[in-house]
Amino acid sequence: MRSVQLVAPRQLELHEMPETRHPRSDEVLVRLRAVGIFGTDMHWYSDGGIGSLRATYPQVLGHEPAGEIAAWGPGTGNLTAGQKVVIEPTITCGQCEFCCAGRHNNCVSVIFMSSPQMPGLFRETTSIRCPKE
| Chain positions contacting Zn ion, by CB under 5 A | 92-93, 96, 99, 107
Cis (ω within 30 of 0) for the bond into 131? no
Beta strand 125-129 pairing with 111-112: unpaired
Specify burial of residue 95 (Cβ count, 10 A radius: 0-12, 13-18, 19+). Answer: exposed
Cβ(119)–Cβ(67) below 8 Å: no
Closer CB to Zn ion, 17 or 96, in the complex: 96
Cβ(111)–Cβ(93) below 8 Å: no
The least CB distance from residue 118 to Zn ion, in Å, is 15
The least CB distance from residue 33 to Zn ion, in Å, is 29
Ramachandran angles phi, psi of 36, nearest 5°: -75, 165
Closer CB to Zn ion, 45 or 98, in the complex: 98
Nearest residue to the partner Zn ion, using Cβ? 107
The least CB distance from residue 106 to Zn ion, in Å, is 8
Closer CB to Zn ion, 25 or 95, in the complex: 95
Closer CB to Zn ion, 19 or 97, in the complex: 97
The least CB distance from residue 68 to Zn ion, in Å, is 28
